[in-house]
Amino acid sequence: MLRNYHDMVIHVRGVERNNVDVSASCVVLRYVPTPQKAGYVFNSVQELAQKLREAKYVIDPITLQVVYLAARMRKPLLIEGPPGCGKTELAYAVAAAGGATVERLQCYEGITEEKAIGKFDESLQRIFLETEKESLGQNWCVIREQLHSLDFFSEGPLLRALRHRDRPCVLLVDELDKVDHAFEALLLEILSAWQVTVPKLGTIKAETVPFVVLSSNEERRLGDPLRRRCMYLRFEYPTVEREIEILKVRSESQEPALLGQMAGLAHALRGWNMEKPPSIAEMLDLAEALRLLGVKEIMPERRDVLLPLLAKTEADRGRLLLREGFEGLIIDSKMYRDKLLRPAAAG
Ligand SMILES: Nc1ncnc2c1ncn2[C@@H]1O[C@H](COP(=O)(O)OP(=O)(O)OP(=O)(O)O)[C@@H](O)[C@H]1O
Ligand SMILES: [Mg+2]
């Protein structure tokens, strides 16, 4: 049996690895993985910048350096900010940049530990007991150990993230503000000790440390113990210039004048005190809609067909339906566009 394992140590349930109680009545051999290699490292800020560019993620120089430091220092990144502004996408872009697998835990109210970490597969345990009846022997202690091993554990994203070995892993805990305090506390062990403790299974240490992104839309304030373990990023709506870059890399629209007008319109709408201002994601939808309609310039006459893309609440819709409201925004969008195009035209 031992020949199948390279790295066996004596492990007694409930007793720490290096502190084996030899008097314990039930001693079993258990595989304990080598813990905590640095799983995720970029060699330089420039390398990360290049790879994020290839992943089509537009990032400002400061955020870039923070992401680099988080990867090097093995610190989770906590990102807060309005919806549709690139929080989730950053996790995917970093994964693409590092050739990593993404383990995503989508949070929601009432999420359980079982969903996040995993649970014993009872039907598999039953099948095992039935089919291996003959060879199992009489030692209940050994049988119990076997049944409560990872072989019979159906792993959730948190545990999977700690057990990646061949490829680096990005663990995305998305919309963490939806969970309650108890679940938030569960993350603390993972994020500081890089291990997770499961009743009957024991403590599983990370084989490699994942790059962790925690995102929140701030429906609930996350606790300070969690915050202190993270590096914090606040995402806001982008500047007109940065939004043009995003529209350029993420949409098929390449016409500078239209890109400038769309980014200008986004800026004008966000300054208009809307109930639900349009996000980057919605401006990308607008770009696609304009492409499909063959529109090269947004004119006030397009209001009714563009409204479902730009106004997502009754109140916002009502305000945009006021003719002068929409017209005024279009005038502003052209002003931003012309301001941006002017240096290029002069040059
Ligand atoms: N900096 C960026 N570079 C490139 N694309 C971006 C960037 N920010 C946002 N996007 C685009 O916007 C879309 C929405 O972003 P994302 O899903 O990350 O938003 P979010 O902040 O996670 O929103 P929510 O809080 O609603 O989940 C992405 O799929 C991507 O196409
Ligand atoms: Mg998201």
Provide the pLDDT for residue 145: 86
Instruction: Compute the distance between CA of residue 102 and CA of residue 104 in angstroms, rounded to an integer.
Output: 6
Q: Which ligand is located closest to the Cα atom of residue 288? A: 1
Binning pLDDT at 50, 70 and 90, where does residue 29 land?
Answer: very low
Ligand nearest to the CA of 280: 1
Ligand 1 center–CA 32 separation, angstroms: 39
- Judged by average pLDDT, the poorest of 3-7, 239-243, 264-268 is 3-7
Which residues are 231's β-sheet partners? 77
**pLDDT confidence bin for 166, thresholds 50/70/90:** confident
Percent of the chain with pLDDT over 90: 72
What is residue 116's predicted lDDT score, i.e. its pLDDT? 95
Q: Which residue has the higher pLDDT, 93 or 344?
A: 93
Pocket test of ligand 1: the residue of 56, 66, 88 to mutate, having most ligand atoms within 8 Å of its CB, is 88
Query: In this predicted model, what pLDDT tens digit does every residue of 61-85 receive, in sequence order?
Result: 999 999 999 999 999 999 999 999 9
Listed in sequence order, the residues at least 6 apart from 109 whose beta carbon sits closer than 8 Å to its beta carbon are 178, 179, 180
**Mutate-to-test residue for ligand 1 from 89, 233, 234, highest number of ligand atoms within 8 A of CB:** 89
**pLDDT reported for residue 51:** 97
Helix (H, G, I), strand (E, B) or coil at 294: coil
- pLDDT recorded at residue 40: 61
Taking the C-alpha atoms of residue 12 and residue 21, their distance in angstroms, rounded to an integer, is 7
Q: Which amino acid is at 69?
A: L
Averaged pLDDT for residues 277-294: 96
CA of 89 to the centre of ligand 1 (A): 5
Look at residue 56 in the predicted model and tell me its pLDDT: 97
pLDDT of amino acid 8: 34
Kindly state the percentage of the chain with pLDDT values over 70. Answer: 87
Crossing angle between the packed helical segments 303-310 and 314-321, to the nearest 10 degrees: 150
**Distance from chain centroid for Cα 137:** 46
Per-residue pLDDT tens over the stretch 104-133: 999 999 999 999 999 999 999 999 888 887
Q: Which domains does the chain have, with CATH numbers?
A: 1-32 (no CATH), 33-236 (3.40.50.300), 240-346 (no CATH)
Q: Output the pLDDT for position 346.
A: 56
Q: Which residue has the higher pLDDT, 4 or 196?
A: 196
Kindly report the average pLDDT of the chain as a whole number.
87
Q: How far is the CA of 216 from the centre of ligand 1 (A)?
A: 13
Does residue 35 surpass a pLDDT of 80? Answer: no
CA of 306 to the centre of ligand 1 (A): 21
CA-closest residue to ligand 1 atom 23:
84
Residue 38 has what pLDDT?
52
Structure tokens at 310: 């730009």
What is the CA angle 338-82-219, rounded to 5?
160
Q: Assess whether the C-beta atom of 58 lies below 6 angstroms from ligand 1.
A: yes
Q: Find the 174 Cα to ligand 2 centroid distance in Å.
A: 6
217 pocket-lining for ligand 1 (C-beta < 6 Å): yes
Residue 142: predicted pLDDT? 83
Query: Residue range 298-326: average pLDDT?
Result: 92
Closest alpha carbon to 101 in 177, 38, 172: 172
Confidence of residue 140 (pLDDT cuts 50, 70, 90): confident
Q: What pLDDT, on the 0 to 100 scale, is given for residue 279?
A: 96
Residues 100, 209: Cα–Cα separation, whole Å: 12
Would you say residue 297 has pLDDT above 90? yes
Residue nearest to atom 16 of ligand 1 (CA): 86
What is the CA(332)–ligand 1 centre distance, in A? Answer: 25
Q: Nearest residue CA, atom 26 of ligand 1?
A: 83
Q: What is the average pLDDT across 203-210?
A: 93
pLDDT band at 1 (very low <50, low <70, confident <90, very high): very low
| Confidence at residue 345, expressed as pLDDT on a 0 to 100 scale | 56
Contacts of 272 (CB under 8 A, 6+ apart): 319, 329
Question: Do the beta carbons of residue 38 and residue 209 sit within 8 Å?
Answer: yes
